[in-house]
Amino acid sequence: LFQYHKSIGFLVLTLAVPRLLWSLFSRRPRAFEGEGLVSRLAARVAHAALLFLTLAVPLAGWAVASTSPLQIPSYVFDLIVVPALPMAISDQAEAFWTEVHATLAYLAAIIVFFHVIAALWHHFIRRDPTLRRMIPYLAPADNERGASPQK
């Protein structure tokens, strides 16, 4: 099970790099009219945190495997062996990176939970097209509900 866990982590890390680049070089969605500054700021902070965590969580996991005195090789879906990071090997380093990995993973889960809650709040309470534009085949037209450029 640990090898599958590590395989998924390496897959997430591999997919997170182009996702981060896409985010850096793509246009931001427009804010809807009436969308407050706090809401826009919260969305930006949550998105930045999620982008950071999709890189940081797998990297911290890789650090756990790299610093473990057991030195068990990491096989990605039994296809390739991923080399260890050049880090000091010790029980203390492994314990530290295990704590970092777990803390970041739980933080990511909490942010995802609140992100889902916010999307549902926009959909069912505010009744704006935020959730629909997050789902590509349900995306509203740009001019729906008076969208204006985000600053």
pLDDT in tens, 97-147: 999 999 999 999 999 999 999 999 989 998 888 888 888 776 655 444 444
With beta carbons less than 8 A apart as the criterion, state whether 94 and 65 touch.
no
Rounded to an integer, the average pLDDT of 18-46 is 88
Has residue 29 been placed in a domain? yes
pLDDT, tens digit (0-9, with 9 covering 90-100), for 52-97: 999 999 999 999 999 999 999 999 999 999 999 999 999 999 999 9
Across the chain, how many H-helices and E-strands are there?
A: 4, 2
Is residue 17, in this structure, part of any structural domain at all? Answer: yes
Cα–Cα distance for residue pair 105/92, rounded to 1 Å: 20
Domain count across the chain: 1
Confidence of residue 148 (pLDDT cuts 50, 70, 90): very low
Q: Residue 87 belongs to what domain range?
A: 2-146
Residue 151 lies in a domain: no
Which pLDDT does position 135 carry in this prediction? 83
Residue 99 lies in a domain: yes
**Spatial contact of 62 and 110, defined as CB atoms under 8 Å apart:** no
Round to whole Å and give the CA distance between 68 and 148.
Answer: 52
- What is the band of 24 on the pLDDT scale with cuts at 50, 70, 90? very high
